[in-house]
Amino acid sequence: MVSPVAYLPPESLRVGYRVIAELSRGWQGPVIPFWMESEWELLRLVDFPSGAVLYIEGQVGLVSVFQGERLLARTKQATAWIPLIGQGRAEVRIKGEKGGIGGGVYLVARSDTLAWPTEPLPTYTFPACDSICASIPTDQVFCVESLLAKPFLCWAFPFPPPARVTAALQSKGYRGCIASISISESRVRPLSLSEFVLLMVALAGGSWLIPILRVILWRGLMQPLPVNPLETLGALLLLSMMTALLLQDNVIGGPLCLAGTMIVEGLYFYFRDRPMRWVWQSWFPFVCLWVCMRFLWPEAFEASVALSWLLRAVRLALYLPHFAYLCAAEYFVFLFVFDT
C-alpha cells in the first residue's frame, strides 16, 4: 500500500515546497507500489498549476517521464524531481524498464496548502549488521508488513528501499545494507513442477529415441562412446533445450555459452587427435544432474554447476593433461565476462 506520508527531500521542505496532490492512484497501468520484470508504463491526465513539480519517490530502474510527447527526464535515481511545463492539464506518461515504483507519485509546488502529510526523506543507512544478513526478493521490498513479520533483523536490499519501508524498519531497530548477495537464501528461482516434468519427459523421450544416451548418462564422463551424426545432433538439441530451461534468466546466453565452450573444446580435441564426441558426452550427465538440483535443491544449484565443471576439468585433464590449460583459459574468460 502507499504510505499516508509523503517523504520529501529536506531541502525542498526548507524552501517551501509542499505536496498539493497525491498522484499514486488513478494511473492507466500497474497499481503503485509495484515491481515488474518487464517494461511498464503509467498514463493519466494531470491538472497542475504554474511551477508544479512531479515528484516520484522509491523508483527502481531507468524511468522516463513525458508530458504529452515531450520527454522531460530520464533517471535511475531513487527519487525523481521533474518540473512540469506551463500550467493547466496535460497527459503525463511514466515509462520504465525492469523495476517499478515502491514509494509514491506526488504533485509538489510552493504552497501553504498541505494536502498530504510530509516528512523529510530518510537516509538509506542502517546500523551495521552483526548477525546473518538475509536477502530480500525484489517483489517483497515494497511490503513493510512482510518484512516485519519475518524472523530476521538484518536485511540485504537489492536496491535502496522506498522511504516508507526505510522509515518503518529504522523505527523498529532493523539493520540492513544495499547488497544482492545472500548467505541464507538462494538467488536461483527453483523450477516449477511443470518445468521439471517437461525436462524429465524430454530426457526420457530422448533416451527412448536415442538409446545411446542411456549409456552416456552413466559412462559419458569416463570414455567417449561411438555414435552416428544423427544421435549427436539429437543429443545437442536436447542439451540446448535443457540448458535454456535451466538458465531462464538468460535463455539465449546460456545455450550459446555452452555451445561456444563445446566448439572451442571440440577444436582442441580435434587438433590433439582425440575423439571430439567426448566434449558433449562429458557435459551430458552433468546437465541432467543440474535439472534435478534446480528442482530438488535450488540453493545448491550454483554450487553444483561449479563443482561439476571442476570435476569434469579434472577428469579430462587426467586423460589429456594439456586440457587443464584450456580449462584455466575458460575460467579466466568467465571471470572477465561475468565479473564474479
pLDDT at residue 284, rounded to an integer:
83
Q: Which amino acid is at 307?
A: L
Residues 6+ apart with CB under 8 A from 153: 131, 173, 174, 175
- Where is 255: in which H helix or E strand? helix 253-271
Query: Between β-strands 154-157 and 175-178, what pairing exists: parallel, antiparallel or unpaired?
Result: parallel
Widest pairwise Cα distance in the chain? 84
For the chain, residues with pLDDT lower than 50 are 180-186, 251-252, 339-340
Whole-angstrom Cα Rg for the chain: 27
Q: Which of 99, 93, 106 is nearest to 22 (CA)?
A: 106
Give the containing element (helix H, strand E) for 165. Answer: helix 163-171
Give CA–CA dist 290/302, Å, rounded.
9
Q: What is the pLDDT of residue 1?
A: 58
Which three cell numbers, joined as nine digits, stand for 289?
544432474
pLDDT in tens, 282-295: 888 888 888 887 77
User: What is the per-residue pLDDT for 302?
Assistant: 75
pLDDT at 42: 94
For residues 109 and 52, the answer to whether their CB atoms sit within 8 Å is: yes
Task: Return the pLDDT at 27.
Answer: 92
Q: Are the C-beta atoms of 286 and 312 separated by less than 8 Å? A: yes
Residues across the chain: 340
Contact between 6 and 57 under an 8 Å Cβ cutoff? The reply is yes
pTM over 0.75: no
